[in-house]
Amino acid sequence: GQNIDQPTEMTATEGAIVQINCTYQTSGFNGLFWYQQHAGEAPTFLSYNVLDGLEEKGRFSSFLSRSKGYSYLLLKELQMKDSASYLCAVLDSNYQLIWGAGTKLIIKP
Amino acid sequence: EADIYQTPRYLVIGTGKKITLECSQTMGHDKMYWYQQDPGMELHLIHYSYGVNSTEKGDLSSESTVSRIRTEHFPLTLESARPSHTSQYLCASSEYGDNSPLHFGNGTRLTVT
């Protein structure tokens, strides 16, 4: 079967750096997405990786290793507003999105 | 400013009722989706559409139907609501490319008593 694994919950301190990991086993791979979802709100798109390496976008970066079935989202200079759930999703060989259960990130002052 | 709108935001109904959840988008996107999301769980695809008069079933489609008569409108109907349908329903849209990101509405929180 197809599977996406993410930690359920992480805690970090304001101003620090946090890395949220995502590992996947899917039938084929056509790209990996990260979304942010604040409590009670809609998920919003953060990043898309299809080639190996690091994509940087301001305070957020996303890394992909296709050979290892592994991605991470790196958040720098954490702010209280970064408290949210972070969803990892993989496009499989049929271009269907397979979703992880999300990582709830708690930022403490 | 939301470009994809869902109504109602919250709904409480009794078992056996027929309900329609509304979703409209103003971005001209061809692809639209309905997902179900429970707390701490992954999103499950219910239905999707690649354009007008195109609808496909996802993983959880057996108890609901959709229609796509206009590009901007993609309503979801539950013919007979059950307590197991209690959940958050998210509508999304995207441009036609396979790697286009999804734009989500704010969701409908449905409770079936």
Task: Please report the pLDDT score of residue B73 as a whole number.
Answer: 97
**Which amino acid, A12?**
A
Q: Please check the confidence at residue B61 and state whether its pLDDT lies above 60.
A: yes
Which residue(s) pair with A10 in the sheet? A105
Residues of chain A where predicted confidence (pLDDT) is lower than 50: none
| Size (chain B), residues | 113
To probe the interface with A, which of B5, B35, B43, B46 has the most A CB atoms within 10 Å?
A: B43
C-alpha–C-alpha distance, residues B69 and B67, integer Å: 6
Indicate the pLDDT class of residue B39, thresholds 50, 70 and 90: confident
> Each residue of B88-111: pLDDT tens digit?
999 999 998 888 999 999 999 999
C-alpha–C-alpha distance, residues B60 and A108, integer Å: 37
Closest CA to A22 of A89, A92, A68, A72: A72
> Each residue of B2-21: pLDDT tens digit?
599 999 999 999 999 999 99
A31 and B106: CB-CB below 8 Å? no
Average pLDDT, integer, range B50-75: 92
Question: Least CA distance to A6: which residue of chain B?
Answer: B42
Give the closest of A30, A43, A99 to B98, CB-based.
A30
